[in-house]
Structure 1
Amino acid sequence: SLYIGKPAGIKVFVHWTFILLVIWLSWMHLQQGHGLYEITLGLIFLAALFACVTFHEFGHALTARRYGIETRDINLLPIGGVARLERMPEDPKQELAVAIAGPAVNVAIAAGLYLLMLFLGQTDMELGHHITGGNFLADLLVINIILVVFNLIPAFPMDGGRVLRALLAFKMKRSKATQVAAAVGQLLAIGFVFFGLFYNPFLLFIGIFVFLGAGAEATHVTRQETLREITLGDLMRVDYPVLSYTASVSTAASAFMESREPELAITDGDRYVGVVSYKFIINELQKGHFENPVINLINDQVKTVPLNTTIDQLLEEFHRSNQYMFPVVDNNRLVGVISRKELEQLPDPD
């Protein structure tokens, strides 16, 4: 993807397949005998369309930020945009606000375009039937309305699926609300596929997309519920090898050879001090510094996690960080260590 900027502190990328869309649009104009002016206008319209899509995604991202949820990035694809939130809020009021914010932006854009058309005296709402021609403002207005209607289809992964789940979650558990919303989405998807087979192949594509998206969301929430039943104590290693802060480099080298771990925790009694890396020990051995204390080599910037950390919170920490392992501390006392090895033991949902 091509990085195009970081408005409001959120990175925005355009996927390379946009080149194919530009080529296709230009070819369609040439097929209709259009010249450079029409091609340029068509590409400006394409840029305006995806500006609306980008604003839609920023609606989600900035609303989520109000609830302390950041957005990793926004990716623009030929089929639309994706705002990758760190997570969706589980409070139904917050999820409803985040989900509906995107379509609300398109409603505002459509209203603004309509007022602009009235101001310019463009009351003729006869719309172009092709992407290569028509009333620029009217076509853009209608596309924003289409974006609203399409995104509010009550099926994952569209916004409407999340709106439906949020509304259901006011009356039932979120996992149950997800299952109901996913079932509604898959039922609609089957309808799209059926009509697509006989009337419009594009509906067939949408149906498959919705069916898979609904199933993926249900699986994701099921996995979250499974993880919540697992505590940090169920996964962390209490026998993880540690070194005293007074240990020498040669002692640390022996411990690394025996444990075959890339990092070891350093303690002062049971008090956590930091972490030392195998690479630093090797470097010291090559220099002949066999008796140097490991306290001089520790990385005290390694992030620790408290004992009451949930597994889904831990997964977020691993996602944000390149750390191999997280020391688990309780009142600055090392009680265990959890590494990427332990995460591989997490169960998958049925």
Structure 2
Amino acid sequence: MRSARLKLTLSYAGFLLLAGAVLLAVVWAYLLRYVPDNDQGLLGISPNRYLLLRMFTPAAAAALVFLLAFGLLGGWLLAGRMLAPLTRITDAARLAAGGSLSHRIRLRGRPANEFRELADVFDAMLERLESRVAEQQRFAANASHELRTPLAISQAMLDVARKDPEFDRGELVERLHTVNARAIDLTDALLLLSRSDGRNFTREPVDLSLVAEEAAETLLPLAEQRGITLEVTGEPARASGSPALILRMVTNLVQNAIVHNLPCGGSITVHTEPRRYASVLRVENTGAPLAPELVPTLVEPFQRGSERTRTGAQTGVGLGLAIVHSIVRAHDGMLELTPRAGGGLLVTIRLPAPR
């Protein structure tokens, strides 16, 4: 199979040869106008024109040969220069196919052309892929560790019970139930995170104010149990997405605000409002002061915020805000975390409004 460079070279040479032939034909026709053809000579051609033909033919043939050679050489060099960016893009694609995502093309040159645009798009794709793969690798390592922990605890308790005949079976069953429930919660959270990342859901109209009221009503007993005031304010704010995922998103935010709050006398405000091109949901809660450098890490999987205050023993599985972030991203929205001056956290979510 002939390469693109060879095809371009033959195309350049063929076009140049054709243009040369047309030019020579025009010159020949022009010369014939000024050479009389009165007398018939050899082969029915006048002596003057016969002489002109003998002089013009070798020169024309030499010119055509020169044009062919020049076209092949020049076409080969020009094609190589034109296809050089494509070669770099191909090499980068081959490295990426082999598993190396750190390579970048970084094609330079002004003005920007189609190859430059293609290279920039390819570099951006590689950067996103590398970031995504690194994130997935960290997530897989953390998930394996988190899933291994309850299994290891269960194994240790069973070993102790097997070696100690006097071990309290009722206590064993109760502790195994607790550990198993935590493993189930973690598995459910991982499945939900995978579902939201895949964006395999049907979009429907959703009113964030109704979702906020439903989530608050569900978690109100937990908030009252911990002495936390929970309030829902605002106006109807319509968005488009999965009702189940958006409900889980708001529920996670409210539950997170309850768990990470003041030990007593805390408050939570859930506010919704429509904007011109987006619907806004804000969840604000009191709590311990948060270091600014800690806030961006809260959306990372299994980051429970070691410097945050938890009211009670419930700490979750470390995927609450990670699931929220994934759901927001799947709905093409924006998530913003802001530490409050007096302590606690303000979470602002903007989802595109239905068109």
TM (normalized to structure 2)? 0.24
Task: From the CA coordinates, give the structure whose radius of gyration is larger.
Answer: 2
Higher relative contact order, structure no. (Cα contacts within 8 Å, ≥ 6 residues apart): 2
